[in-house]
Amino acid sequence: MKILVTVTLLLALVSCNERKTSSNQNVKISTMKGKNFTTTITVDKDVTSTFNSIKNFKGWWSEDIEGSTDQLNDTFFYHYKDVHLCKLKLIQLVADKKLVYQVIANEFNFTKDKTEWVNTKLVFDLTTEGSKTKVVFTHEGLVPEYECYTVCNDAWTSYIQGSLKNFIETGKGKPNGKEGGLNTELVAKWGLPDK
């Protein structure tokens, strides 16, 4: 049985490789297609403190969050002026191991498809590494084909590698302030509307 499964998988891989064209552009697109945004941090904190810090989105993402970010099946609303608005729901919570938030509504004012994030998921996987905690953040469904990918890649990298890491380790993140903050820098960098 194992041999049959292995042969089937190898044939599927070969078949996929044969469908690629010789154009470098097509090869690049086919290798990037479906690749979710992901980034990893290791923090000098225990897993319980790390888990609780992640759930406090006001401490590291935005002070302009309305609703509960730490209760299973509760929804919350994030917005930055009218540049980005979204509603998220905590759909999975495994204490000290995993958090999954689903984007149930989204609106960008800088993309053709204003709803690109709808039905994507913010996934935080935690593991202990000695006295430290490793956090793997994946935005499932945020793929290079999305118009917002470059901006979102930059923003998530900044929030996770900078604001969240600092918030977990020191209690001080760099969330969006009610009138600006971290997103003000990104608005300027990417030339987004600042309304």
For the stretch 95-122, pLDDT in tens is: 999 999 999 999 999 999 999 999 999 9
- Say how many Å lie between the first and final Cα of the chain, rounded: 60
The pLDDT value recorded for residue 6 is: 30
The pLDDT of 129-149, averaged and rounded, is: 96
In this prediction the pTM is 0.76
Q: Check pLDDT > 80 for residue 167.
A: yes
Tell me how far apart the alpha carbons of residues 47 and 134 are, in angstroms, rounded to a whole number: 8
Q: How many residues does the chain have?
A: 195
Beta-bridge partner residues of 77: 66, 87
Token output for 125:
């996987």
**Cα–Cα distance, 31 to 154 (Å, whole number):** 20
Mean pLDDT over 136-156 rounds to 96
pLDDT at residue number 184 = 60
Question: Exposed, middle or buried: residue 23 (CB in 10 Å: 0-12, 13-18, 19+)?
Answer: exposed
* Residue 152 pLDDT > 90: yes
Task: Report the distance separating Cα 35 and Cα 18, nearest Å.
Answer: 20
pLDDT in tens, 78-100: 988 778 999 999 999 999 999 99
pLDDT at 15 over 90: no
